[in-house]
């Protein structure tokens, strides 16, 4: 619902500001009344119909063409439609996050969820050490934070709040019903995130979006700017780094996969190499996206060549 609200807020100015609050809240309660299956289906149908008329659709098509040059135009349009469908479903499912993932006494009791790598969750929870978890905007990307909370993992999710303050309050209100700790990205947030790790907690972050002050890595064969925060924290605290992804299944069902701790590249001094580690995490995200391209957020301007740092001219 956050990502859907951001796109609507950006491309439909008349709905911006205070007018977005009753709209988003009304959509939320309508989705809850419909139940998870119908809400997800209707949400997907809505964005499939509306999405191709938005400017973000051109971004999605351009991203898909550049990432999959071997696919024809019909296949590209089909993937874009799937991506809009997934976005709408994810927004509608926001009203049902409290029911999509149920666990009690460490045992999964929801028929909607399958978890692979639960032993890694348990190790993170019980080893008494801090840990870092990266993810991406795949399928319903809110579910890993809920999984961590359900299994008793002390985890703080880093999120980007909407620009509109009133909408941000509403989104945070919904998230706090189902998730553990939350940390809003922004200036000064790094210190609070360091505090989480220093206390032995766990930090989770979506790493698949443009970050202006990031390091250059390769994604689908092209350079992008990626947030190096997790790599820097891993270097400083020597803590394990895991990846987690969600795969959408038919019928509002999901599979969540947590990787083993990564063996990240190191520099000549033996410390974790920040750029190399960020590239390693980005490469895993690319593998995930290639497996389920219709479930990723292609509408985001991930590739921005004009914002990459200019190479330094040789001296002399």
Q: What is the DSSP letter of 266?
A: B
Please give the model's pTM, rounded to 2 decimal places. Answer: 0.86
**Predicted local confidence at residue 150, as pLDDT:** 77
Please give the structure tokens belonging to residue 22. Answer: 């009753």
Q: Is 52 exposed, middle or buried (0-12, 13-18, 19+ CB in 10 A)?
A: middle
Sequence ranges of the domains in the chain? 2-305
> Strands (DSSP E) along the chain, which ranges?
103-104, 107-108, 113-116, 131-135, 155-159, 181-184, 202-206, 215-219, 222-226, 241-249, 253-258
Q: Is the pLDDT of residue 157 over 70?
A: yes
Q: What is the DSSP letter of 54?
A: S
**Predicted local confidence at residue 238, as pLDDT:** 93
Q: What percent of the chain is predicted at pLDDT more than 70?
A: 77
DSSP structure string for 77-92? HHHHHHHHHHHHHHHH
**Predicted local confidence at residue 174, as pLDDT:** 64
**Predicted local confidence at residue 127, as pLDDT:** 82
**Predicted local confidence at residue 136, as pLDDT:** 96
* Mean pLDDT for the chain overall: 83
Distance of CA 57 to the CA centre of its chain: 19
Mean pLDDT of 43-50: 96
Q: What is the DSSP letter of 139?
A: S
pLDDT in tens, 101-119: 765 445 555 678 888 888 8
Cβ pair 227, 211 in contact under 8 A: yes
Mean pLDDT of 34-58: 95
Q: Is the pLDDT of residue 128 over 60?
A: yes
User: Lowest mean pLDDT: which of 20-29, 35-44, 203-212, 302-311?
Assistant: 20-29
Mean pLDDT of 70-84: 98
User: Is residue 221 classed as helix, strand or coil in its secondary structure?
Assistant: coil
**Predicted local confidence at residue 15, as pLDDT:** 45
User: Lowest mean pLDDT: which of 22-36, 196-210, 217-231, 240-254?
Assistant: 22-36
**Predicted local confidence at residue 14, as pLDDT:** 45
Query: What's the CA gap between 50 and 185, in Å, rounded?
Result: 29
Beta strands 131-135; 241-249: pairing state:
parallel
């Amino acid at each position: 619902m956050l990502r859907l609200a951001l796109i609507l807020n950006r491309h439909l100015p008349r709905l911006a500001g205070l007018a977005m609050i009753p709209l988003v809240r009304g959509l939320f309660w309508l989705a809850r009344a419909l139940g998870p299956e119908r809400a997800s289906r209707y949400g997907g149908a809505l964005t499939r119909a509306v999405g191709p008329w938005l400017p973000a659709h051109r971004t999605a098509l351009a991203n898909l063409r550049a990432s999959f040059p071997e696919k024809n135009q019909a296949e590209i349009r089909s993937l874009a439609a799937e991506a809009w469908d997934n976005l709408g479903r994810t927004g509608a499912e926001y009203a049902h996050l409290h029911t999509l993932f149920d666990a009690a006494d460490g045992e999964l009791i929801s028929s909607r969820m399958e978890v692979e790598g639960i032993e890694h969750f348990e190790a993170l929870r019980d080893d008494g050490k801090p840990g870092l978890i990266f993810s991406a905007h795949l399928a319903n990307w809110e579910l890993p934070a809920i999984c961590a909370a359900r299994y008793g993992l002390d985890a703080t999710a880093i999120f980007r709040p909407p620009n509109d303050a009133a909408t941000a309050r509403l989104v945070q209100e919904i998230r706090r019903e189902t998730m553990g700790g939350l940390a809003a990205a922004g200036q000064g947030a790094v210190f609070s995130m360091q505090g989480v790790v220093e206390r032995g907690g766990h930090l989770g972050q979506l790493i698949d979006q443009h970050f202006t002050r990031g390091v250059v890595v390769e994604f689908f064969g092209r350079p992008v700017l990626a947030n190096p925060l997790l790599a820097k924290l891993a270097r400083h605290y020597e803590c394990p780094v895991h990846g987690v992804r969600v795969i959408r299944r038919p019928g509002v069902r999901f599979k969540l996969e947590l990787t083993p701790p990564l063996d990240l590249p190191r520099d000549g001094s033996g410390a974790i190499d920040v750029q190399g580690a960020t590239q390693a995490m980005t490469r895993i995200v690319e593998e995930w996206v290639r497996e389920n391209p219709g479930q990723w957020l292609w509408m985001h301007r991930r590739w921005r060549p004009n914002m990459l740092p200019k190479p330094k001219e040789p001296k002399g």
